[in-house]
Structure 1
Amino acid sequence: MVVHLQRAAKGAALAFRRTPAEIAAAASALIHRERQAHDEVAAQRSPTFANTIARLARLENDTNAESSVITFLQNVDTDKHVRDASSAAEQALRTSRMALLMREDVYRPVKAVLDDAAALAALDPEDRALAEKMAREYRRNGLGLDADTRKELERIRTRLIAVGIEFSRNINENDGRLLLSRAELDGLPDDYFSGRPTETADGVERFAVTTKYPDLVPAMQLARREDTRRRLQAMTESRCPENIPLLQEAVRLRLAAARLLGYETHAQFVLEDNMARRPEAVLEFQHGLREQLGPLADKELGEMEALKRADKEAAGEPYEGLFQWDARYYANLVKERRHSLSEEEVKQYFPVAQVTRGVLDIYQETLGLRFVRVDGPAVWHPDVEMYEVWEAAGDAFVGHFYLDLFPRDGKYNHACVCPLRAGCERPDGSREYPAAAMLANFPKPTPAAPALLTHDDVITLLHEFGHVFHHLCARTRWAHFALDSVQMDFVEAPSQLLENWGWEPAVLRRFAVHHKTGEPIPEDLVARLVAAKNEGSGLFNLRQIFFGLYDMALHSTRDPDVDVAARFSELREQITRLSAGGAGAGSGGAATFGHLLGGYDAQYYVYLWAKVFSADMFASRFKRDGLGCAQTGLDYRREVLAPGGSRDAMASMERFLGRRPDHRAFLESIGLAQ
């Protein structure tokens, strides 16, 4: 049970209320402080680990929270001027830090320490990992290149930072919007319309539908009129056309930077530090899974096609094929008819407050933690909740997290976790406590009902909390090894692991209650929900493979002029088996693929790759030992979460599993049992 606390949270408070001028001043102060520290290192005449590498790492320990907060505000603040100032601060900080990593006068003393094999061998494992990681970072930022080449690399990287920030800001700021009548939205439940903005023209009331998830997803799942779904798809894919040339430029610049560093492609450069290591391994994984999914996807397409043909025949209209805008609607219809399962029925049992408490209870029990909700916290918006995290056994403080769960104008429009402060060791040996924020865009409360989640939303909540506690449960001395440094093709595994709890009947019955009656979810409904788990999994996973292969097509190419929009349309139709029709052909569907400039370039494959590990950990330890086994949760915290990015992920999994992971549980989890 989560308790409430009416006092300030333990640990140094984070200041979220900033004016644009204060943000600019904070960024300038950080840049000055970081340059000063690098000047000190450059001046070292007798460099050691302590006065050189540890000096730079302590700087990161000391500044990461302030840096994270002022750059985080671009995703959440209601004031556009603050968001713009936050974006500008991020660009200034990233540009300055990139230049610092290219300073040859700093690299010389650092390299002197790295070249002292005896001194490195005497370090403990985390300090040695820090030194090795720093060596790689300097090399990957051009140290070792001649001055002119390094200057060109800096020019390219500076422009890439600006392109990425602009691309993401365009997505956050520019929502699509359609006005549709009740008839055009036939099939949507009454609560979809409750409290929705309207306009009346020619005597017809029309409702505003945007591209935010709570608007778009239900409409694409439930709107009976094909023309409505087609128009919504077109609206979605016509957003942010200005992002297409930005993406085109980013692909070209990334390839140029990789070649300056001696790599043939950007993917080779990126994957060097990942578990996959090579683009060939990623492509082999994705193409192999695509082939295995083929028969399952064929079956699902046949079922959807039969339903659409019947609909067209009943309407006296010609059947012209299955399109992208049909996917959610007919997949949902198959699920409803085969399992007598309605999303509208299911969500009545998932009021957001009750679900959040239930999910937090799961994490408390699984990870041996205790959560305390803080009343009246100093946060960036009234919707935000703040929680303290304590060890369940004893009275040790762990950190805190924030929940910002509902959409609003200008806010980041997907779901993610933003680390706000890394856990690390202070110079006096005391602990700097970590903090993280979860951002989501779940349906808001309406005048008729509280905020109700779909089961997919519940899975999303479990997933994102996995990132939160990966960050909070890391126990490293250096902020450098926080969540952001975990190998990208493992970082999704801890979040995907906890998704499994959302399919366990005993777990669902603990917190799923009807928002009006308080009655627990019926066992029959749970059984139908679980039975439908892998309905549509063939096509869903092909869609994930499409995104991964599109990403690799852009970043493993040697052609700097690959057409990013045309390649998107071509590959989507080939891999997902669904035509874009007139709504997507040659459009800006790639323009809102935020992952490509949000840190997942050449790495979108990680979502499926990491599922191999999460499925194995769940089946081989948690399911086998029992979901309530405290020792399993503690083993997981110690071997998987606590090392953060200070240890290779494969070593962590081998220690937790007692062997190397394999793919059997993963194939079974997506309906491809061997």
Structure 2
Amino acid sequence: MSGNPLLTAWSTPFGLPPFADITPAHFREAFETAMQNARKEINAIADQAKLPSFSNTIIALETAGEDLSRVARTFFNLTGAHTNAELQDIERDMAPKLAKHGSDTMLNPKLAARVFDLWERRDSLGLTDEELRVLERYKLGFTRSGAGLDETGKARMAEIGQELATLGTRFAQNVLKDESSYQLVLETEEDRAGLPDFLLAAAAAAARDRGLEGKHVITLSRSSIEPFLQFSTNREKREEAFKAWAARGETGGETDNREIVARTLALRAEKAQLLGYPHYAAYKLDDCMAKTPEAVRALLTRVWAPAVAQARTERDKLAEAARAEGNNTPIAPWDWRYYSEKVRKRDHDLDEAELKPYLQLDKMIEAAFDTATRLFGLTFEEKKGLPVYHPDVRVFEVLGRDGKHVGLFLGDYFARPSKRSGAWMSAFRPQHRAKGEITPIIVNVMNFSKGADGEAALLTFDDARTLFHEFGHGLHGLLSNVTYPSISGTSVARDFVELPSQLYEHWLSQPEVLSRFAVHYKTGEPMPKALLDKVLGARNFNQGFATVEYTACALLDLNLHEIADPAGIDVTAYEKTALAEIGMPDEIIMRHRIPQFSHAFSGEGYSSGYYSYMWSEVMDADAFGAFEETGNIFDPATATRLHDFIYSAGGRQDPEEAYKSFRGRGPDIDALLEKRGLKAA
């Protein structure tokens, strides 16, 4: 291990990790060594005799443990995007150790005393606004980690942190195992009935990836199973696939997550109560824009009633379409997407099979890049031959208006068994200037289906929207222009972080963008105006369903974390009862059922915070209006404000003030209801 590449200086282009030289075995030693070195650096900050200053305490903490940060970012990007059994074993082993390392820092009384002393003297320190914001975040971080508790309380907080880290890792690995181990092999023509060519090509590619050359496989990746549910005329197979999808994390075997959820909820409640909060939701939301569970519930319930009403109207239309085919059975959850496609075809003369040939992955990437060029002056140059962790990963150098290097953008677009489901943005290196000019290395990870050999990968409109969404997060990291790592890029309030991503989605739906980049993958012809008009005319189609499946998750996430004593909760029974209480339609399930709800239980990021997407959507719907009001969706002055106050600002400003600086006022929820085509209750 003497030549461990994780512990040596990287001479790779742009400072990318030397992936070809790194093996899973390198990580264990790298973590242990880097943690030891980081602990020495942090203890030296805490133990120094000098009076606390911003430089010798806060800046020192900002730059301590750089090797550990580098190892951790490389490792956790791999465990999400390209994992294996050895990495998962290391992940289970390291989770509590890393949690202990964190608590040893945040519960160090000498270190906390230095931070609290600086906070008390903040008005006399001559700090800039950015420095004051960083100091405030440190003061809050130490307080919320339990630095003010007695020794018994601190010890318990440390124990809780380690156990939660272990549970979150197990939860995520269980969901991935359920997803990657499932395959629906379509053996006969009857099994494949109704499937369009693009889906058959993707199913053939998935089969090849699993060693089943010549067959067709449907996986539990959304880009595979959702179109299967949309097009398959074989109701029995739809039901089989849907039930497997819904049962992730609840199979009764070693990957069952229900006891993990119950224990996680109990530990979170205990943690909150140790810190003086009545329940975990109150603790978590206290450091968000929403501030209180009551504010979150007010938003969600205002949307819930019109969404349910709209979903019931949609259900009736589906039942009418089913009866027209001679199917008089009630609409089941595995029928919804199938009959929705028929109703969309009937009412809007639009079907996914007609639309998808115009949504090439490469052209949608180009569209996302071009939008960034027109808004922010960025350009993107693909670089071949650079170190990557998988052959599918593409690397682009990002240049600014002046032609200077801004950062690197990595795109990892295709589903594979080694990748967890969903889509996300992450950083191999965040931007900052705490020790010289450090430029960002940002990655977007998706789970799209590959095309047939030699054929373009084709997206659904939802896939294309996801690509724009994650690229919005990517721009938030790439355009970051702050001094300190702790407030860089997406290091903002959880219910603000989705604003840059969801706002960016709006440009995809603009005729000015689609008319240029939605071109047929074989002929190169642009999408006909009649089809484009149908796409835009159907943009609110099925929004009752989409809003209900999302909002149900957000409500149950909030409700679960308001339980003061959730120990031993029966997760399945709770979900059933809670959904009945809020009036969940029988034909729709939660977008993420509790045993597979990774946002809430594979870590604390979105725990009690799944509402954040809708909280941010109130802002994004209102924010795009700032462009529309100018008559130019690329208005330079508005784009400059967007860049300065939202995309480049990181967390250096209170998020509410950041939004007002951009928009000139607070957001209006009516813009959200209008965007979704919902009437206010």
Same fold? TM cut 0.5:
yes
Write out per-residue CA displacement over residues 277-317 of structure 1, whole angstroms, 9 at most, x where no aligned residue.
00011011111111233432232122112222333xx25xx
Maintained 8 Å contact 1:188/1:219: yes
Match of 1:277 among 291, 316, 321: 291
| Inter-CA distance 307–148: structure 2 relative to 1 (3 Å threshold) | same
- 1:367-446, aligned counterparts within 5 Å? 367-392=376-401, 394-427=402-435, 430-446=436-452
> CA-atom RMSD, angstroms?
2.4
Q: Secondary structure at the match of 2:671?
A: helix
SS in 2 for 1:487: coil
Cα distance change, pair 257–148 in 1 and its aligned pair in 2 (3 A): same
The equivalent residue for 2:19 is 16
Q: Which residue does 1:190 correspond to in 2?
A: 197
Note the C-alpha offset of 1:208: 2.6
Instruction: Tell me if structure 2 keeps the 8 A contact 1:19–1:82.
Output: no
Quote the residue 2:474 is aligned against.
468
The question of whether the paired residues in 2 share the 8 Å contact of 1:372 and 1:389 is answered with yes
Query: What residue number does 2:340 align with?
Result: 331
Aligned-residue offset at 1:650: 1.0
Distance in 2 between the 1:91 and 1:153 partners? 13
What is the 5 A alignment of 1:332-351?
332-351=341-360
Aligned counterpart, 1:521:
527
User: Displacement of 1:80 after TM fit?
Assistant: 3.0
1:103 CA drift (Å): 1.3
Partner of 1:568: 575
1:155 is aligned to 2:159: yes
- What is aligned with 1:4? none
| 1:78 to partner: Cα distance | 5.3
Distance apart, 1:135 and its partner CA: 0.8
Query: Is 2:617 the partner of 1:611?
Result: yes
By how many angstroms is 1:661 displaced? 1.8
Q: Deviations over 1:36-85 (max 9, x none)?
A: 12211221222222111221112266753332112221112354323443
Identify the match of residue 213 of structure 1 among 217, 222, 228. 222
User: Which string of whole-angstrom CA distances, capped at 9 and with x for unpartnered residues, describes residues 209-252 of structure 1?
Assistant: 22112321111111123222211121112223321111111111
Identify which of 138, 143, 150 aligns with 1:139.
Answer: 143
- 1:353-400 per-position Cα deviation (integer Å, ceiling 9, x unaligned): 1221122111121122111111111000110001111112x1332111
Unaligned runs of 5+ in 1: 1-7, 200-204
1:206 Cα shift? 6.6
Contact 2:427–2:441 (8 Å) recurs in 1? yes
- The letter for the 2-side match of 1:510 is R
Secondary structure in 1 matching 2:164 = helix
**Match in the other structure for 1:31:** 35
Q: 1:202 is matched with which residue?
A: none
State the 1:577 CA deviation.
4.2
Q: Output the CA distance in 2 between the equivalents of 1:397 and 1:240.
A: 44
C-alpha distance in 1 between matches for 2:674 and 2:513: 21
| Selected match of 2:183 from 177, 195, 198 | 177
Structure 1 residue 90: Cα displacement: 4.8
In the alignment, the residues of structure 2 paired with residue 339 and residue 610 of structure 1 have an alpha-carbon distance, to the nearest angstrom, of 29
SS in 2 for 1:490: coil
Q: Is the 8 A contact 1:622 1:632 kept in 2?
A: no
Moved more, 286-295 or 370-379: 286-295
Q: Greater CA deviation, 233-242 or 88-97? A: 88-97
Shift in Å, 1:652: 0.9
Structure 1 letter corresponding to 2:116: K
**Using a 3 Å threshold, how does the CA distance of structure 1 residues 658 and 198 change in structure 2: closer, same or farther?**
closer
Aligned residues: 650
CA contact (8 A) 1:550 1:567 kept: no
After superposition, give the CA deviation of every residue in 1:583-610 in whole Å (9 maximum; x if it has no partner).
Answer: x89xx94221111124211000011111
Q: Contact (CA 8 Å) 1:102, 1:142: kept in 2 or not?
A: yes
The equivalent residue for 1:298 is 312
2:169 corresponding residue in structure 1: 165
Q: Which residue pairs with 1:41 in the alignment?
A: 45
Structure 1 letter corresponding to 2:493: Q
Partners of 1:247 and 1:591 within 8 A in 2: yes
Equivalences for residues 223-302 of structure 1 within 5 A: 223-241=232-250, 242-302=256-316
Q: Distance in 2 between matches of 1:306 and 1:577?
A: 21
* 8 Å contact kept, 2:296–2:611: yes
CA distance in 2, matches of 1:602, 1:32: 33
> What CA deviation, in whole Å up to 9, does each residue of 1:187-218 have, x standing for no partner?
1113323325669xxxxx97432211232111
State the alpha-carbon separation in 2 of the partners of residues 34 and 397 from structure 1: 30
**d(CA) in 2 for partners of 1:126, 1:49:** 12
**Separation in structure 1 between the aligned mates of residue 301 and residue 637 of structure 2, nearest angstrom:** 38
Please report how far the alpha carbon of residue 87 of structure 1 lies from its aligned counterpart in structure 2 after TM superposition: 5.3
Residue 185 to residue 95, structure 1, CA distance change in 2 (3 Å): farther
Amino acid at match of 2:124: A
User: Given the superposition, is the C-alpha separation of residues 179 and 522 from structure 1 closer, same or farther in structure 2, using an over 3 Å criterion?
Assistant: same
Distance 1:130 1:196, change over 3 A: closer
Once residues 353 and 55 of structure 1 are traced to their aligned partners in structure 2, the CA distance between those partners, rounded to angstroms, is 43
Percent identity for Structure 1 against Structure 2? 29
Q: 3-state SS of the aligned residue for 2:630? A: helix
Q: Provide the TM-score with structure 2 as the length reference.
A: 0.91
Match of 1:116 among 114, 118, 121: 121
Q: Is the 8 A contact 1:179 1:208 kept in 2?
A: yes
Alignment of 1:87-102 (within 5 A): 88-102=93-107
Query: Match for residue 354 of structure 1?
Result: 363
Contact 2:41 2:65 in 1 (8 A): no
Task: From the superposition, tell whether residues 115 and 30 of structure 1 become closer, same or farther in structure 2 (CA, over 3 Å).
Answer: same
Which residue, out of 533, 541, 545, partners 1:535? 541
Contact residue 489 and residue 650 of structure 2 kept, 8 A: yes
Stretches of 4+ moved more than 6 A in 1? none
For the structure 1 residues 237 and 137, does the alpha-carbon distance in structure 2 shift closer, same or farther, using more than 3 Å as the test?
same
2:94 corresponds to 1:80: no
CA 1:149–1:197 in structure 2 vs 1: closer, same or farther (change >3 Å)?
closer
Per-residue CA deviation, residues 499-555 of structure 1 (Å, 9 max, x unaligned), is 111211121011111111111110000000110000111121111110101101210
CA distance in 1, matches of 2:448, 2:579: 27
Residue 534 of structure 2 aligns to a residue whose secondary structure is helix
Q: Which amino acid aligns with 1:653?
A: Y
- Whichever residue aligns with residue 290 of structure 1, its letter is W
Inter-partner Cα distance in structure 1 for 2:63 and 2:619 = 33
Is 1:495 the counterpart of 2:501? The answer is yes
Q: Which runs of 5+ in 2 are unaligned?
A: 1-10, 209-213, 251-255
Measured at CA, do residues 434 and 89 of structure 1 come closer, stay the same or move farther in structure 2, by a change above 3 Å? farther
**Residues 655 and 193 of structure 1, relative CA distance in 2, 3 Å threshold:** same
Range 55-64 or range 346-355, more displaced: 55-64
- Distance (Å, rounded) in 2 between the aligned partners of 1:351 and 1:343: 13
**Using a 3 Å threshold, how does the CA distance of structure 1 residues 299 and 426 change in structure 2: closer, same or farther?**
same
